[in-house]
Amino acid sequence: MLNLLKRLFAGDNNSSRKQANDRLRLVLTHDRTATSAQLMETLKEEIIEVISRHVEIEGNPEVTFINEGRRSALDINIPLKGR
Amino acid sequence: MGEQKEGAQVIVVTSGKGGVGKTTTVANVSTSLAKMGYKIAVMDLDIGLKKLDLILGLENRVIYDIVQLIEGECTLKQALVKDKRFPELSMLPAAQTRNKDEIQPEQVKEICEQMRADFDYIFIDCPAGIEQGFRNAIIAADKAIVVTNPEISAVRDADRIIGMLESAGFTDIMLVVNRIQSEMVKKGDMLSIEDLMEHLCIELLGVVPEDKRVLISTNKGEPIILNEHSIAATAFNNIAARLTGKEIEFPTFEENSFWNKIRNLGRNLFPNK
Ligand SMILES: Nc1ncnc2c1ncn2[C@@H]1O[C@H](COP(=O)(O)OP(=O)(O)OP(=O)(O)O)[C@@H](O)[C@H]1O
Ligand SMILES: [Mg+2]
């Protein structure tokens, strides 16, 4: 209920403030790790390639950054096909 | 860095991006502390583009500068300009007609070490940028204040600077957010303090609102903290007090919080209430 209310009142989701935050989140992660959006794509492709050499992948693999404080980590989520 | 040395605490005020309010912060926090009775020195390391003397209203009292001091043309005592309004405040002026790379970090460090014994706090006004001027400014500092504005390019540069300070061994890095406009934050058109904290993840030292009186006081060469009507003055005084270890609460920044929205909605629905 509270969540619903919160969402209702969360205001303009496309406010320039929100856009600034979204853009900053990305650019700071790339700045800090000296990576680019392009590199992420390459990484994702290569990781999937290596994994699928050994196990069968199912669904949508994801490779994203997670930030903890000023540190970043790669979050690799690759669903595997079950028998 | 980190460990407490004898004498003064040396604090560098830096930002990466230019024009965000470093010099204004140095001038006001230092006068505020001097007014409290602390012995303060400010060192202008923006060599070639000096402004601190103007903002402090001391430009007519400058005789020697830091480059002349390093080159042995004067003594430290001769180079330091005393502020008549605040006897506890001294300024070591930058040189205007020289370049930032004409002095070396080691030379700045030596001057600082000479000054430590005579002061409680030494503030270093750092130039914009990440080059030699920045390296000169951070070498002798124990702590760093990073000034930023609620604006993406300033935040990005602040983040870069924080990273560089961390690599240089700084463990005490504090954030001052300058020129915040709560009306714009409320409207969703400006990054909030919480947003900046989320991105930069360092300790918050102060929040200074946008205030037209800052320019007026700059025109006059009088620090804004002397103006009782200024909201920026309160903010700078709070920063100074926090540096001395006083705990001063931050006003709530939750302008955009859920409960405020409900309150505002109430106001909009019942405008006459
Ligand atoms: N809180 C404020 N409200 C309104 N104006 C401000 C505020 N803080 C600073 N300013 C104005 O912003 C301008 C830049 O400030 P200041 O010179 O302190 O920045 P700086 O970071 O030292 O710049 P530089 O990188 O050139 O050394 C000045 O004109 C000053 O009057
Ligand atoms: Mg300046």
| Interface contact B261-A9, CB threshold 8 A | yes
Residue A52 in domain: yes
Does residue A53 lie within any of the structural domains?
A: yes
CA distance B37 to B31: 10
Please give the ipTM for the structure prediction: 0.81
Q: Is the dihedral of CA A68, A69, A73, A77 positive or negative?
A: positive
The total number of residues shown for chain B amounts to 273
Full set of structural domains in chain B with CATH = 9-269 (3.40.50.300)
Cα(B129) to centroid(ligand 1), Å = 15
Give me the phi and psi of B215, to 5 degrees please: -65, -40
Q: Is residue A83 part of a domain?
A: no
Beta bridge partners of B82: B90
B206: enclosing H helix or E strand: strand B203-209
Closest CA to B15 of B239, B188, B177, B246: B177
Task: For the full predicted model, state whether its pTM sits above 0.80.
Answer: yes
DSSP B169-191: T---EEEEEEEE-HHHHHTT-S-
Q: Is the C-beta atom of B145 inside 6 A of ligand 1?
A: no
Instruction: Inspect the interface and report whether the beta carbons of B189 and A11 lie closer than 8 Å.
Output: no
- Inside any domain, residue A82: no
Identify which ligand lies nearest to the alpha carbon of B25: 1
pLDDT of residue B1: 47
Distance, in Å, from the CA atom of B86 to the CA atom of B88, rounded to the nearest integer, reads: 5
Q: Each residue of B199-210: pLDDT tens digit?
A: 999 999 999 999
Q: Is residue A46 situated within a structural domain?
A: yes
Please give the share of chain B, as a percent, with pLDDT higher than 90.
85
Residue B267 pLDDT greater than 90, yes or no: no
**Domains of chain A: total:** 1
First to last CA, chain A: 40
Helix (H, G, I), strand (E, B) or coil at B114: helix
Place of tokens 């909030």: B192
Residue range(s) defining the domain that contains residue A69:
2-77
Q: What is the pLDDT averaged over residues B119-135?
A: 97
